[in-house]
């Protein structure tokens, strides 16, 4: 291996680090993961990530062939992609010069982008789409983000392109993390689905017997995955929550297709690993609502990279050619 890259993923709930061998097109060694220490703020998160990175290098055992660091950050970054604009999940990140700090910590050059762009890049190159010119990628996890590849390069607009989570899909809908109402993220993200699960639980067990049982009636344990599981087992309240959430996602996706005419739209992120749920409640709605011009023209698919698109994409950021201007 001659071009190893240390890849770091700063997620809202999880941190991950691994060494990527770009020549072999794979992660080598284990992925080191920790929970994001949200209550310790940016400083605590940074310390935890440096620890993850050092463990990844130590396990890898050949740190001398690692030539650069690629960083995926879960939130918007500055136009020059050197510092953080903000994190929606961890306080006091605003303005942090993350690229310089990571570069100093590991004595290596570093590159960064927001997680939506990084995942789009990773998916395009490693997910089986690199021969395509134009793809859109939608990331559905704690929050919702995404990225666009136009003309075989990341398209960043004036810096914030791909914020698909903040398409308004329900006027006067639920409160969103951005301060507005009815964004897709306020209906179909991990936090929104968990919130709706807790809301159903608060109304008693009559309409959600499975969720009541799975959570042992402890609202604080409810996650989106738990709502999915209850939906699978026929829980009426959770079926309604899932149908509503994935219907909104499908509407955003078909609108996005009519707007940009991509060759494929790929959906990834933690929630999409519940493929059965997406196959049952999302893909049929897309098919039904797709504008006839685009039927059979644009594919809509689920990621097969099993969450590794962020680390793989972060490694690619260090290669100027594929990460765009
Ligand atoms: Zn919003």
| pLDDT tier for residue 180 given thresholds of 50, 70 and 90 | very high
Q: Is residue 309 part of a domain?
A: no
Integer CA distances (angstroms), 265 to 111, 149, 201, 261, in order: 26, 10, 34, 10
Mean pLDDT for the stretch of residues 97-116? 96
H or E stretch covering 1: none
Q: Is residue 312 part of a domain?
A: no
| pLDDT tier for residue 321 given thresholds of 50, 70 and 90 | low
Q: Which domain holds residue 191?
A: 130-304
Taking the centre of ligand 1 as the mean of its atom positions, its distance from the CA of residue 269, in whole angstroms, is 18
Q: Is residue 204 part of a domain?
A: yes
Tokens matching residue 301: 């698919």
Q: Is residue 274 part of a domain?
A: yes
What is the value of pTM for the model shown? 0.91
% pLDDT > 70, the chain: 97
Q: What is the per-residue pLDDT for 205?
A: 82
Q: What is the per-residue pLDDT for 325?
A: 47
Task: Say what the alpha-carbon torsion angle 230, 234, 237, 242 is, to the nearest 10 degrees.
Answer: 70
CA–CA distance, 72 with 113 (Å, rounded to integer): 6
Taking the centre of ligand 1 as the mean of its atom positions, its distance from the CA of residue 144, in whole angstroms, is 9
Kindly state whether residues 200 and 116 are assigned to the same domain: no
How many residues comprise the chain? 325
Kindly state whether residues 282 and 149 are assigned to the same domain: yes
Taking the centre of ligand 1 as the mean of its atom positions, its distance from the CA of residue 248, in whole angstroms, is 14
**Overall number of domains in the chain:** 2
CA–CA distance, 313 with 243 (Å, rounded to integer): 31
CA–CA distance, 86 with 76 (Å, rounded to integer): 6
Kindly state whether residues 286 and 159 are assigned to the same domain: yes
Kindly tell me the number of DSSP H helices and DSSP E strands found in the chain: 12, 10
The string of pLDDT tens digits covering residues 202-235 is 998 889 999 999 999 999 999 999 999 999 999 9
Angle at which helices 309-316 and 115-126 pack, to 10 degrees?
90
Q: How many CB atoms lie within 10 A of CB 70?
A: 30
Question: 4-10 and 135-140 as β-strands: parallel, antiparallel, unpaired?
Answer: unpaired
Q: Is residue 275 part of a domain?
A: yes
Kindly state whether residues 112 and 175 are assigned to the same domain: no
Taking the centre of ligand 1 as the mean of its atom positions, its distance from the CA of residue 138, in whole angstroms, is 15
Q: Is residue 310 part of a domain?
A: no
Taking the centre of ligand 1 as the mean of its atom positions, its distance from the CA of residue 113, in whole angstroms, is 20
SS3 category, 84: strand
Kindly state whether residues 151 and 298 are assigned to the same domain: yes
């Amino acid at each position: 291996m001659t071009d190893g890259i240390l890849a770091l993923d700063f997620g809202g709930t999880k941190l991950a680090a691994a060494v990527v061998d770009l020549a072999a097109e794979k992660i080598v060694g284990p992925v080191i993961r920790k929970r994001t220490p949200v209550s310790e703020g940016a400083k605590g998160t940074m310390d935890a990530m440096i620890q993850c990175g050092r463990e990844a290098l130590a396990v890898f055992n050949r740190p001398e062939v690692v030539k650069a660091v690629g960083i995926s950050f879960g939130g918007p970054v500055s136009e020059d992609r050197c510092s953080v604009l903000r994190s929606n999940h961890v306080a006091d990140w605003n303005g942090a010069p993350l690229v310089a700090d990571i570069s100093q910590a590991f004595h290596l050059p570093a590159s960064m982008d927001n997680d939506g762009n990084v995942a789009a890049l990773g998916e395009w190159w490693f997910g089986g789409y690199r021969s395509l010119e134009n793809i859109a990628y939608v990331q559905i996890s704690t929050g919702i983000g995404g990225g666009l590849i136009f003309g075989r390069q990341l398209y960043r607009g004036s810096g914030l392109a791909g914020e698909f989570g903040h398409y308004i899909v329900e006027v006067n809908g639920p409160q969103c993390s951005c301060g507005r109402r009815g964004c897709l993220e306020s209906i179909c993200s991990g936090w929104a689905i968990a919130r709706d699960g807790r809301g159903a639980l608060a109304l008693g067990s009559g309409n959600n017997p499975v969720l009541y049982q799975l959570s042992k009636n402890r609202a604080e344990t409810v996650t989106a995955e738990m709502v999915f599981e209850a939906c699978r087992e026929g829980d009426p309240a959770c079926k309604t929550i899932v149908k509503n959430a994935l219907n909104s996602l499908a509407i955003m996706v078909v609108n996005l297709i009519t707007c940009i005419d991509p060759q494929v739209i790929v959906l990834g992120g933690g929630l999409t690993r519940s493929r059965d749920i997406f196959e049952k409640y999302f893909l049929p709605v897309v098919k039904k609502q797709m504008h006839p011009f685009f039927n059979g023209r644009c594919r809509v698919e689920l990621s097969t990279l099993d969450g590794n698109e962020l680390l793989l994409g972060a490694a690619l950021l260090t290669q100027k050619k594929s990460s765009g201007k």
